[in-house]
Structure 1
C-alpha cells in the first residue's frame, strides 16, 4: 500500500515525537507471524503525543490499534490508514500504591501478574495465563483459570479519536464475557487494578500452577493466537471442534492443534488466509454437526486481497 498519508500527517502535526513508519510489515508483530503491512504505523512517545496525533489526523483516515499481537490475525492485504501500537516506558509503567496497581496498557498481562505477586497482592495471578497486554485485556475482558479482568479493574484512561482524554469507571466499561462496551474509538493508555493483601509465596505458587496448566494443555511454543473461538453458552468450544472431527485438520500451512483443538497454529509458511480459512472451515463443520455457531475470539483485521476488488 502506498500513499502520501505519511507526508500529510507530518504536515498536520510537525512536532510529533513518536515513530511514524510507512508500509511497515506487521507479520513480525503478531504471534502467528503472518499478515500484510500497515499503510502507516505510528508508535507515540506518550499520551500527549498520541493526543496531538489523533487531533491532527484527518477524521476520514481509519485507525487500528494493535498490542502484542497474541490474539490477532492481520490479513494478507495489510491494514489501510493508520495502525497505532503503544510501547516504551510511557505505556509500560507499573506503579503500586497500597492495594492498587496502576499500569500502562502496553504492559504484558504476565508482567502485571508478576508485579502483583512481588507486592503480595492476591487476585491477579490469573493474568499469568493470558498471552497478551493490558490494553487487549481491557477491550475483551480477558480471563483465564477462573479470573477475569472485570474482577479486579477499578478505572481506565484513554484518548479518543478527537484527541480528548477520557476516563472510565468499572461500571462504564460495560464488561461481559470476552467483551467491553467502551467506545470503539478510545485507545486505552492506562488502567488501575485492585488486589487484596496476600502471601507472596502462595500467590507465586498459584502462578506456577497456572503456568504448568498452560504448558500441559496448550501449544504455547507454537506460532498460535491463543483460544480461537469463544465458548458457547453452557459448552466448550474445543469439545465441539473435536466432536466435529477437526483435531489436526489442515489448510495450507495452518493446522488445528493436536494438543488443544481450540488453537490454530502456523506450521510454517502459512498465510493469514490459510489460518482464517481453516477457522471458517471449523465453524462450518461445528455448525453442521452440532448446530452451534462458534464466534471468533481472535480478532481479524485488515484487507483480504482476494476480496479487495469485488
Structure 2
C-alpha cells in the first residue's frame, strides 16, 4: 500500500531543512524482522539542530515516531502514517571525557558503546554488549542485559521534544525502572552521557567476550528476530512460561517461536507482520491459560494493520 504524498507541504514548511525526506519508504529492509509496510515519510535529520528545526516547523497534528536500528520494533503491514525519524551519522559520535565519562550519540549501536568503554578502560558498561539495537532505544526502555541496566551508568540525556525544543535532563528525572522510562513519549533522544569506573581493558574485554559467547550459544542471533519479545513478569522468566505453555517451536505462517530461546519470535523467511503479531498474541493466550500470567510485549508494535488483517489482542483490548 502507499500513503498520500505530503512531502511538498513538509518542504514548504521547512525550506531550510538539511536532512533527507523520502515518501512511502519501505520499512522492512531497515528492521530486524524484515517485515512491514512503508512509512508515509521517512526523515533522516542531519543533526540535532536539523531535527529540532523540522519538529518546530512540522504541523502539530502530524504523527511523528522514531526508529533506531529496528531491533525492538514490529512494523505492521499497513505501514506507518506520518513521519518516521531515523537517526544517522549526525547522531553517531562517541567521545571520552574527563572523569571517566562517555558521551554517546543516540544512533550508536549498543555494542559500540561497550567497545568504546572498553577501549577507554571504563568498567560498568560491558553489559551493552548483550543488548541488540541502538542507544536511543536503550534509553527509551531502560534496556538491560547480563546484570546491568542503562540507568545504572546514565548521568544525563539530550532529547528534542515534539515542539522542537532541545532538552538536557539528568538521569534521575527520567523515572527509569525495569524496561521502562517515564520520559515523555514525544521526546526523541539524541545523546547520552555515561559514567564509567576505572578498570582494566583486558578484563573488560573478557567480560564482553563472555557475553558474546553466552548470546551466541543461547539466542537466535543470526535469525530475523526483534530480540526479547515479552517482558519478564515480577519474580519470573518469560521464556520459562512460554516453554511451560508448550509454545517452543510454535509456528503461524512464516513466524515461529525460536527453538533455541522461546522468548524470541523469528521470521523464518516469508513471515508477515500479521503472522508475527498473531503468533505473539497466541503465545500470550496460552501462557495465561496455563500459568495465569499475562505477559506484556517488550517489542514495540508500530503502525497500521493491513486492511482486513487486524490482530485481536487476546485480552480483548485494542492492540497498542
TM value normalised by structure 2: 0.95
Gaps of 5+ in 2: 311-320
Corresponding position of 2:318: none
CA distance in structure 1 between the partners assigned to 2:161 and 2:169 by the alignment = 12
CA distance in structure 2 between the partners assigned to 1:51 and 1:239 by the alignment = 44
CA distance in structure 2 between the partners assigned to 1:51 and 1:151 by the alignment = 28
User: In the TM superposition, what are the counterparts of 1:204-283 in structure 2 within 5 Å?
Assistant: 204-283=205-284
Q: Indicate if the aligned counterparts of 2:3 and 2:81 stay in contact, CA closer than 8 A.
A: no
**SS of residue matched to 2:234:** coil
Corresponding position of 2:165: 164
Gaps of 5+ in 1: none
Q: Indicate if the aligned counterparts of 2:3 and 2:24 stay in contact, CA closer than 8 A.
A: yes
**How far is 1:307 from its partner?**
5.4
Query: Per-residue displacement from partner, 1:222-277 (whole Å, max 9, x unpaired)?
Result: 00111000000000000000000000000000000000000000001000000010
**How far is 1:306 from its partner?**
3.6
CA distance in structure 1 between the partners assigned to 2:292 and 2:308 by the alignment = 28
Query: Per-residue displacement from partner, 1:83-115 (whole Å, max 9, x unpaired)?
Result: 000011x20000001300001000000000000
Q: Indicate if the aligned counterparts of 2:274 and 2:309 stay in contact, CA closer than 8 A.
A: no
Corresponding position of 1:96: 96
**How far is 1:3 from its partner?**
2.0
Corresponding position of 1:287: 288
| Worse-matched range after superposition: 299-308 or 30-39 | 299-308
| Equivalences, count | 309
CA distance in structure 2 between the partners assigned to 1:244 and 1:47 by the alignment = 46
Q: Indicate if the aligned counterparts of 2:5 and 2:40 stay in contact, CA closer than 8 A.
A: no
Q: CA RMSD in A?
A: 1.2
User: In the TM superposition, what are the counterparts of 1:195-206 in structure 2 within 5 Å?
Assistant: 195-206=196-207
TM value normalised by structure 1: 0.98
Query: Per-residue displacement from partner, 1:178-237 (whole Å, max 9, x unpaired)?
Result: 000011111100010010000000000000000000001000000011100000000000
CA distance in structure 1 between the partners assigned to 2:225 and 2:164 by the alignment = 34
CA distance in structure 2 between the partners assigned to 1:261 and 1:8 by the alignment = 46
**How far is 1:305 from its partner?**
1.4
Q: Determine whether 1:117 maps to 2:118.
A: yes
CA distance in structure 1 between the partners assigned to 2:5 and 2:228 by the alignment = 38
**How far is 1:2 from its partner?**
2.8
User: In the TM superposition, what are the counterparts of 1:62-141 in structure 2 within 5 Å?
Assistant: 62-88=63-89, 90-98=90-98, 99-141=100-142
CA distance in structure 2 between the partners assigned to 1:262 and 1:169 by the alignment = 33
